[in-house]
Structure 1
Amino acid sequence: MLAFYKRLYPFKSIFNWLNHEHVPTKLFTNREFAFTLQGDVYLRYNSFERADELKKQVCALNPTRFEIGPVYSARPRDKKTVRPANFTAQLRELVFDIDMTDYDAIRTCCAGADICRRCWAFIAAAVRVLDHAIRDNFGYKHLLWVYSGRRGIHLWISDREAMELTDEQRRALVGWLMVIQGGKEMHKKVNVRQGSRTLPPSIKSALDPLATVFGDLILEDQNCFESEEGWKALIQLIPDKAVAESLAAKWGTEPMRSSEDKWDDLKKEVRKFDKGTAKRNALQAAVEDIILQYTYPRLDAEVSKHRNHLLKAPFCVHPKTGRVCVPVDPAAIDSFRPERVPTVSLLLRELDEIAVAPGAGEDAGGEEGTGEHHSDWERTSLKPYVALLDRHVAALMQEVRQAKRAAPTYDASW
């Protein structure tokens, strides 16, 4: 880990991302950093003036990971000398967390902390839906998706308006995006409409692409309704008792029917009722709600509701997998493979190969210590991920520059 922090971690890029400018501002100097050390020692309310100061402290502590918190009204390291009323969280990226364990009730290929290419499709669908929903409905542009290193993905939104949201506004926004709600004891987790009325437009727009995902992922790949447990869970979501009992009897005597067959059986039952009738409308609404329940993003709402929430920094290393928490391009989310993400051991091997390669110059490893090693990550498989962050930062900084140029100036002439 120490070699990783000294030679590979992109502190400069992280600084630019958090600071929005090249010269330090309060967005960085008043930002909280929290460190997790060996033995579960947790150090909060750290703050720094520059990227090299952060790097020096990280290398001195060698944490297993570190987290990023809000921008406070005073420097977090001065918390003990500031009156509580003068130490408040003022700005914070709007963040979201999608974790694969929330899909354990419906995925059939893995469970718990395990993740594979097949169940990653749940995360991919969630990213596509949430990315479009936030861009189209709220107009936010600076969305950074970061793989968590193990079984999930984080979203950081750096638009100024998003950073200024109060806790109440964050709760309202998250509540508007929440479609899947309820614990294990609740069978029906989608309740976003009145009776059998049409879905809200924002959710309706996601239904068609999710219907395709439902067919490919739920019915074919995961085959969620093949087992008795799976089809009984589906039966619980059918509002018409007679239809539910009829399907349960059929599926109980024909246990080898595939999920696609059972879904066709349900659609045939729906078509038995005339269009426009109350029963047809109720069953049609139930079919749509089932698609949403199995494919719509499952959010950890508590992560998003509070400005003072801390979240693991991009490019940290997950201690269980050794994988780096790398940015992800939402446009290429379907081709992203968690198992291909660079690990610390792989990156250090790549550095070793550079060091022994014929003609390797002095810049291959840089000087020992905590100074910047600008070229080291560029020589490893970490390069495309840092480049992705830098492109995100460039767009963010460009907007900041444009806003400054457009701001009215005070005329001091007499």
Structure 2
Amino acid sequence: MPHSVSSNDSAPHNNDEEILPDAPSAPENESVTDEQKGQPNQNAEGNVKLEDLFANDDDDDDEFPASSAPDVKMASSPPPIPAAAPKGPSGIDAETMLAFYQRLFPFRTMFQWLNHGIVPSPDMINREFAVFLQNEAVLRYQSYATVDLFRKEVLRLNPTRFEIGPVYTTNPRDRKSRPGIQMKPIAKELVFDIDMTDYDDVRTCCSGAQICQKCWAFITMAIKVIDGALREDFGFEHILWVYSGRRGAHAWVGDLKARQLPDDRRKAIAGYLEIVKGNDKSGKRVNLKRPLHPHIARSVKILEPHFNQTTLIDQDVFVGEQQAERLLSLIPDKKLSDALRRKWDSMPDRSSANKWNDIVTLAQTVPGLDTKAVTDARYDIVLEYTYPRLDAEVSKKMIHLLKSPFVVHPGTGRICVPIDGRAIEEFNPLAVPTVTELLNEIDEYDAKNPGEPAPEPEIPTEGSVPDRKMQDYEKTRLKPYVDYFRSFVANLMKDERSGKRERGEEPAKATTTNDAMEF
């Protein structure tokens, strides 16, 4: 059954000359070099490489070109939209994407999340979006002053996805229409990017872009450790974890004090959380001072049970000769490592769990062994095989763009859904619905409930909530993810209002809005 697309919402073609009163459009057909050469003030540090502006997330693979690739066209105003774009690797065509934006994308809650309130503020008006079009062109420095404009422009452009950048000192679309303007990034969520490919040397079940529930445990561990550190060590509260759509996760820290962090503080936090260093697969990548820092000690406590299950049993990572040798190289005492090697050579099929236990058993037989050094080495090994592996560069600079929540991953078709921090271990990336599945679920629901009438208007009584027509997302498996996101945003806005009162700022009076008009 074809997915219905409302004629009222369909995106007009060739509407490049549209003048947006609150966001003047920039000159057309700008190239990469135009964007780079003409913007000495786009950040406080001067010249910036194009690849530094985009997060090195899991979209940068063979199935979708990297934003820094030479064949990706850059522009800051919309070129003509192709009438019929070819299907992407996941089989998603332009009509499917348009139906998704019309029927399922939570525009109003997204706006409130980035705006930190209902009434439009500079947090949204001066926010940069990078829009990836169906023809693979990328529109930089887009901005949307209202939720209606946000929705209208996304429907008009019908992008494959869009990424979110910083809040600037002025509307990013004004940077060329007003010569001499100083446009500097002043705020953005503190973000983190975790990619499964960084665990390829410690997982045996999958590699590259492939994932399964067994190796997803590494992302679960990372979320637990990073989330705990951000809350307990830095006092952040509003941390939104989002599935990247294929093989990773992103964190968005939305607290005001996190959004206002300068780049040097962001770099310091990233360094604080970065323990596994270097790319040498055979060398020691964790080197820690003793006694362990409280954050590291807490991490060991979190990770040790996961190491016992994931590393030793599910991945059975030390069963092979090469990985067994790597483990031996991490043992500080040569006599012990030689004794372990002899035993394992005589028992080539010995499991990883047994090999791990052998370290303690044989250590008791080696005379003069420094048992504390062996214990310390075991903790270091646990951390080396399970501690979060961050793409730290994404976290260090405000100007980095990061894929928006709730967009569609172009390679898998899965939605980039929020991950409920209260149920991290229950999250299964392979169960996340694809855009096609969601649209089919709407069709199936409507077929089972033909002619479902809109609720009759009624005179509301005090304290009652008027009935409303069921929204399309509520007919699908996207509902729990949208509901969680709405709850997260509501708590964030509540704290923002409280913070303004504490600072003596008079909050703007918001016009009455109907939450039923979510989409």
TM score, norm. by length of structure 1: 0.92
Show CA shifts across 1:346-376 (max 9, x none): 1111121233334434669xxxxxxxx9812
Kindly state the Cα deviation for residue 269 of structure 1 after the two structures are TM-superposed: 3.5
Establish whether residue 209 from structure 1 lines up as the match of residue 318 from structure 2: no
Q: Which of the numbers 420, 429, 434 marks the counterpart of 1:343? A: 434
User: SS of the counterpart of 1:86?
Assistant: coil
Aligned residue identity for 1:74: T
Give the whole-Å Cα distance in 2 for the aligned partners of 1:148 and 1:23.
29
CA distance in 1, matches of 2:193, 2:142: 24
Equivalent in the alignment of 2:342: 249
Aligned partner letter, 2:301 = D
Counterpart of 2:193 in 1: which secondary structure?
Answer: strand
In structure 1, the residue matched to 2:311 is 218
Q: Is the 8 A contact 1:273 1:279 kept in 2?
A: no
Contact 1:69 1:310 in 2 (8 A): yes
Instruction: Map residues 11-410 of structure 1 onto 2, 5 A cutoff.
Output: 11-82=107-178, 86-184=182-280, 187-193=283-289, 197-272=290-365, 279-361=370-452, 375-408=471-504
- C-alpha separation between the residues in 2 aligned to 1:187 and 1:84? 51
* 5+ residue gaps, structure 1: 365-372
User: Stretches of 4+ moved more than 4 A in 1?
Assistant: 82-85
- Residue 176 of structure 2: SS of its match in structure 1? helix
8 A contact 1:31–1:47 mirrored in 2 = yes
Larger RCO (CA within 8 A; separation ≥ 6): 1
**Gap runs ≥5 in structure 2:** 1-96, 456-468, 507-519
Deviations for 1:228-273, whole angstroms, at most 9, x for unmatched residues? 1221111121122222222122212211111111101112234446
Query: Do the aligned partners of 2:241 and 2:421 also contact (CA within 8 Å) in 1?
Result: yes
User: Which is further off, 120-129 or 307-316?
Assistant: 120-129
Q: Is the 8 A contact 1:273 1:280 kept in 2?
A: no
1:340 and 1:185 map into 2 onto residues whose CA distance is 32
Question: What CA distance in whole angstroms lies between the structure 1 residues aligned with 2:349 and 2:180?
Answer: 64
Deviation at 1:89, TM superposition (A): 0.5
Distance in 2 between the 1:188 and 1:363 partners? 64
Alignment partners' CA distance in 2, 1:382 and 1:53: 24
- Structure 2 vs 1, CA of residues 335 and 358 (structure 1 numbering), >3 Å: closer, same or farther? closer
What's the CA shift string for 1:8-35, capped at 9, x where partnerless?
1001010011111100001100000001
Q: Which amino acid aligns with 2:273?
A: L
User: Secondary structure at the residue paired with 2:370?
Assistant: helix
* Partner amino acid, structure 2, of 1:349: N
- Deviation of 1:83 (Å): 5.1
Structure with more of its chain in helix, by fraction: 1
Cα distance between partner residues in 2 of 1:26 and 1:139? 25
Cα distance in 2 for residues equivalent to 1:313 and 1:363: 32
How far the C-alpha of 1:151 sits from its partner, in A, is 0.5
CA 1:409–1:391: 2 relative to 1, 3 Å: closer
Secondary structure at the residue paired with 1:107?
coil
Give distance in 2, aligned partners of 1:182 and 1:115.
23
The amino acid that maps onto 2:410 is P
Question: Does the aligned pair in 2 maintain the 1:270–1:284 contact within 8 Å?
Answer: no
Residue 150 of structure 1 contacts residue 318 of structure 1 at CA under 8 Å; is this kept in 2?
yes
8 Å contact kept, 1:223–1:259:
yes
Aligned equivalents of 1:147, 1:231: Cα separation in 2:
33
Matched residues in 1 for 2:294 and 2:305: separation? 18
Over the matched positions of the two proteins, sequence identity in percent amounts to 48
TM-score for the superposition, normalised by structure 2: 0.73
Instruction: Work out the CA distance in 2 between the residues paired with 1:98 and 1:247.
Output: 34
> Do the aligned partners of 1:113 and 1:151 also contact (CA within 8 Å) in 2?
yes
